[in-house]
């Protein structure tokens, strides 16, 4: 099975489970924990999850929580049970921990996207196949998932360094069809429009600034669910759209 098709199958399976459950990671001093096929230590171990592995987890009062991991083994998605004491919900992290998680994720995404671009540019077919697979898997299972916490984090902290790192991922992976970054940057803009626009001005070229403006606009339109012509009667949408267009004209002459 091709990687792209496998990713779509896993995302489809995970999405319905994720709707009513929470993103989490392992919280274990050993750096990993066991996933079992039942609720108790007497059940066999399916596999282990490392500290950097992400999974969606049921919110129940049980000591053993059902999980679906954002990874697979032998073309099979990991599903099972993990003890509550080993689970750390991403929403419950403090801002310092969220910053560390976002920084690591954004830097990795930029590197993988840059490696892929360099392989494509050099016409190295072997490197191309390797880098595109790594980029696809990381983008879907780590990057796109983690950046969903960015709007809430940015609105609270106004962390310009993290926002610039986020811009870098969009610029490095400019040809991607992934819409999640647009939705995320749109939410950041809605929360702190002037601050986001101020950070766009620091980008080096008009081409870079245009790309970020385009992503903000698409995220804004998605958030307010505009009509097929990109129009809305929502006053907030029209105010934010006007501000965006004014700054776009200044920054992208």
Q: Is pLDDT above 90 for 177?
A: no
> H-helix or E-strand containing 32?
strand 32-36
pTM of the predicted model, to two decimals?
Answer: 0.87
Architecture in CATH of 3-91: Roll (2.30)
Angle between helices 180-191 and 150-157 (to 10 degrees): 20
Q: Cα dist. 70→132, 140, 189 in Å?
A: 18, 9, 28
Q: pLDDT by residue (tens digit) across 191-242?
A: 999 999 999 999 999 999 999 999 999 999 999 989 988 899 999 999 999 9
All residues at 6 or more sequence positions from 8 whose CB lies less than 8 Å from its CB, including other chains: none
**Where exactly are the structural domains of the chain?**
3-91, 94-251
The single-letter DSSP state of residue 26 is E
Q: Tell me which H or E stretch contains 46.
A: strand 45-50
More confident: 176 or 182: 182
Q: How confident is the model at residue 12 (pLDDT cuts 50, 70, 90)?
A: very low
The tokens 């390797």 sit on which residue?
Answer: 130
Q: Which residue has the tokens 């489809």?
A: 12
Residue ranges of the alpha helices (H) in 67-204? 95-122, 125-138, 144-146, 150-157, 160-172, 180-191, 193-200
User: How many whole angstroms separate alpha carbon 36 and alpha carbon 141?
Assistant: 21
């Amino acid at each position: 099975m091709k990687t792209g098709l496998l990713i779509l199958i896993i995302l489809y399976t995970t999405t319905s489970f994720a709707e009513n459950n929470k993103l989490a990671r392992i919280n274990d001093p050993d750096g990993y924990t066991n996933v079992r096929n039942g609720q108790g230590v007497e059940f066999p171990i399916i596999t282990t999850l490392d500290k950097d592995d992400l999974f969606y987890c049921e919110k129940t009062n049980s000591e053993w929580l059902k999980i679906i991991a954002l990874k697979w083994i032998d073309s099979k998605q990991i599903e099972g049970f993990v003890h509550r004491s080993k689970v750390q919900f991403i929403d419950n992290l403090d801002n310092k921990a969220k910053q560390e998680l976002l920084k690591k994720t954004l830097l990795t995404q930029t590197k993988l996207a840059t490696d892929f671009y360099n392989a494509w540019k050099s016409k190295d077919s072997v490197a191309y196949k390797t880098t595109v697979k790594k980029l696809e898997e990381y983008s879907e299972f780590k990057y796109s998932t983690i950046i969903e916490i960015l709007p809430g984090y940015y609105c609270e902290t106004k962390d310009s360094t993290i926002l610039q790192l986020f811009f870098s991922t969009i610029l490095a992976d400019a040809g991607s069809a992934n819409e999640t970054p647009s939705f995320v940057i749109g939410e950041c803009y809605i929360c702190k429009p002037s601050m986001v626009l101020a950070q766009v001005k620091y980008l080096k070229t008009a081409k870079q600034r245009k790309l970020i403006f385009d992503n903000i606009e698409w995220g804004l339109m998605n958030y307010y669910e505009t009509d097929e012509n990109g129009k809305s009667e929502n006053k907030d949408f029209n105010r934010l759209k006007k501000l965006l267009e004014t700054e776009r004209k200044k920054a992208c002459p």
